Amino acid sequence: MELLYLKTFCELVKWGNYTRTAQELDYAQSSVTHHIQRLEQLYGGQRLFQRKGNVVILTAVGQKLLPYARQMIELQEQAKQALSTTDLDQTTLTIGTIESLSLYYLPSILEQFRQQYPHIQVKIILDQEQQLIRRVREQQLDIALILDTPCQAYGIEAISLFDAQMRVVMHPQHPLARQSSISSRDLHQQPLIVTEEGCTYRAYLIDKMKSQGHASDIHLELGNIEAIKQSVAKEWGIAFLPQFVLEQERNNQALCIVPWAEEDPQLYSQIIYNSTKSLSSIATEWVTLCRAHSIMKV
């Protein structure tokens, strides 16, 4: 649905007039207005157009969005062309990923994919990064989405999607909540609520603290992100999580989210696939949707 709004957005830029845009798209004028309003809501409620005489022109925010919108539309067109000339007999797409990406990144992509390809069965397999890499290499998975440093594993091709900025999460009453950023030194002997072993950002935090001589007090180890958030809200400890799993928590008064003060851990969301064979047309379309979605996260 977001791509539909972006197409209307680009047409309105082209014609500068709601009535002409509606005529060109064969929409009611109210539909054009609705598409623009929904797009503004999706991107923080900021105005994309302003009136100048009898025409509408882009605001500064709209000008910033325009190249991304055109790129997303172009990616969709490229995918359509690729699929029109390749074999579409594939009926199942098997995707491996980790829990955080499955919960907070994939749902909107999956919804759009199912709208376009309702005949394709999508299987989501959850595992840790190293096991996902192995399963892609052994061709047990068509593709996988991981969160890791740039993947350079043998027999694997990787496509970077977005940089996962890390955040420290605590109860608002915690003394550290008043700081503008948190370092590994601040977490020395603080009760930590961490994900299970094998998680890349848990390993980064523990290694970073150890290298600087700071003790990491693992108070709770949980395999579920929502359980970690709830534990922090109960004042059981401090969590270290990527920003994308916290997007819905901005108005949560039980959590305080503070930037990480250390250097960027360079953890990227990546699509990986087996380098010894070409991606199927269906897998290519999935990759295209992921890349288009990730452009808007930048």
Intervals of CATH 1.10.10.10 along the chain: 2-84
Intervals of CATH 3.40.190.10 along the chain: 92-162+268-295, 166-259
- Hey, what are 170's tokens? 């605590």
pLDDT of 187 over the 70 cut: yes
Helices (DSSP H) in 86-241: which residue ranges? Answer: 99-104, 106-116, 129-137, 200-211, 225-233
Average pLDDT over residues 172-197: 94
| pLDDT digits 0-9 by tens, 201-224 | 999 999 999 999 998 899 999 989
Which of the residue ranges 114-118, 167-171, 284-288, 290-294 has the most confident prediction, judged by mean pLDDT?
A: 167-171
Window from 4-13, 76-85, 154-163 with minimum mean pLDDT: 76-85
Q: What is the mean pLDDT of the chain?
A: 90
| pLDDT digits 0-9 by tens, 113-157 | 998 888 899 999 999 999 999 999 999 999 999 999 999 888 899
CATH code of 2-84, in short, is: 1.10.10.10
Give the number of other Cβ atoms within 10 Å of residue 16's Cβ.
16
Give residue 90's pLDDT band: very low, low, confident or very high (50, 70, 90). Answer: low
- CA 288/CA 282 separation, integer angstroms: 10
What pLDDT score does 82 carry?
A: 65
pLDDT of 298 over the 60 cut: no
| pLDDT digits 0-9 by tens, 45-67 | 899 999 998 899 999 999 999 99
What pLDDT score does 116 carry?
A: 87
What pLDDT score does 84 carry?
A: 56
The CATH number of domain 92-162+268-295, selected from 3.30.590.10, 3.40.50.720, 3.40.190.10, 1.20.1300.10: 3.40.190.10
pLDDT of 1 over the 80 cut: no
What pLDDT score does 12 carry?
A: 93
- CA 40/CA 253 separation, integer angstroms: 25
* Structural fold of domain 166-259: D-Maltodextrin-Binding Protein; domain 2 (3.40.190)
| pLDDT digits 0-9 by tens, 225-238 | 999 999 999 999 99
Average pLDDT over residues 158-183: 94
Give residue 109's pLDDT band: very low, low, confident or very high (50, 70, 90). Answer: very high
Helices (DSSP H) in 95-143: which residue ranges? Answer: 99-104, 106-116, 129-137
Contact 191, 236 (CB under 8 A): yes
**Pick from 152, 149, 145: nearest CA to 125:** 145
